[in-house]
Amino acid sequence: MNKRLNRLLMRNRSVSSQEDSGFGKSLTESARLVNTDGSFNVHRIGASWSALSVYQWLLTIDWLLFVAIIIAYYIASNLLFAQIYYWIGVQHLKGIEVSESAWDNFWHCFFFSIQTYTTIGYGAISPNNWSTNVLVAVEALVGVLTGALITGLLFGRFSRPSIRLGYSENILIAPTKDSFSGLMCRIVNLRSNRLVEVEAQMMFSYIDPNEVQQTGKRIFVNLPLQVTKLQYFPLSWTLHHVITEESPLWGLAEEDFANIKAEFMIMLKAFDDTFMQTLYTNTSYTWEQLVVGAKFVPMFYPDASTQQIVLDYQLLSRWERADLVAVS
């Protein structure tokens, strides 16, 4: 076995037994544990329909999909009611001139359905028999309930607190001023809201090098950060784990991270003074996103003309090559 990997295993065996990430220890596949958007790379099967939460799903899906679902539901429900009006008979809708064209008659029913559904009620068309009046009453009730539900969903989506941080595309091993190397990634607040008391944690996950070719286990070790908490977060923050002799990463070569399917998980907690709530976010980097021998380009600088600090989001993931200190 490679000496570096053997040293890594022996150093971390006792430490990892005290850490529990929630993923268990029997995951040996190369698939990542946490996606870049912070969601867990877990596909759940076998659950009953009662376990599904449509409300939660509608609150968390993308805005474009949400609007598309609302529009599709609105059109489909009115088409359904229009079809029922058409089956009852267009002649039972006072104000509609019955046409020889079936399509013209149907579209009259469709637009009458929209007026009833949204409780507009222009008065030009009205029901004139018992069955049509019952259907109008049912549709009006459905329309009111639907409007209330959509209003509630919109309020829930707008009032739901969320955190939007930008993470660098890569995680780097860069030289530091104290003649060591450091594992670094960079984050920035993409919104103008104020985040305070921001805390970060970094976890290193890898497959036991003794059992990579077998049904081995995955090891999880916390990586101490040089700075774990910021009182304010107005600029960018480079999370920095110093690779000293006590670090689980000490002495590892670039190819070793691929051999053990390394993954670095980032977890952040911050207090948002807009919503007055504590928010959480996370992401991860795999060995494929690791760049050894590089450093981040500064992404903020003072502007003498405006007497302000300029923060350039486009520089979030930009890095340049840097020589590492040789480890003896």
pLDDT of residue 306: 87
Write down the pLDDT at residue 218.
79
Among 32-41, 51-60, 80-89, 208-217, which stretch is predicted with the lowest mean pLDDT?
208-217
Mean pLDDT of the chain: 84
Query: What digits encode the pLDDT tens for the residues 118-155?
Result: 888 777 888 888 999 999 999 999 999 999 999 999 99
Tens of pLDDT, residues 246-300: 888 888 888 889 888 899 999 999 998 888 888 899 999 999 999 999 999 999 9
Confidence of residue 10 (pLDDT cuts 50, 70, 90): low
Same domain (yes/no): 175, 303: yes
Same domain, 190 and 123: no
Select from 146, 141, 109, 145 the least CA-distant residue to 127. 109
Task: Give the model's confidence band at 20: pLDDT under 50 very low, under 70 low, under 90 confident, else very high.
Answer: low
Q: Decide which of 159, 184, 212 is a domain's last residue.
A: 159
User: Do 149 and 265 sit in the same domain of this protein?
Assistant: no
281 and 143 fall within a common domain: no
Same domain? For 138 and 283 the reply is no
Q: What is the pLDDT of residue 211?
A: 55
pLDDT surpassing 50 at residue 168 = yes
pLDDT at 40 over 80: no
* 8 A C-beta contact, residue 240 and residue 174: no
Same domain, 170 and 276: yes
Read off the pLDDT of residues 47-91 as tens digits, 9 standing for 90 and up.
Answer: 666 667 888 889 888 999 999 999 999 999 999 999 999 999 888
120-158: burial string, b at 16+ Cβ within 10 Å, e else: eeeeebbbeeeebeebbeebeeebeebeeeeeebeeeee
| Structural domain ending residue among the three candidates 109, 129, 159 | 159
Global pTM?
0.76
CATH number where 188 lies? 2.60.40.1400
154 in the same domain as 171: no
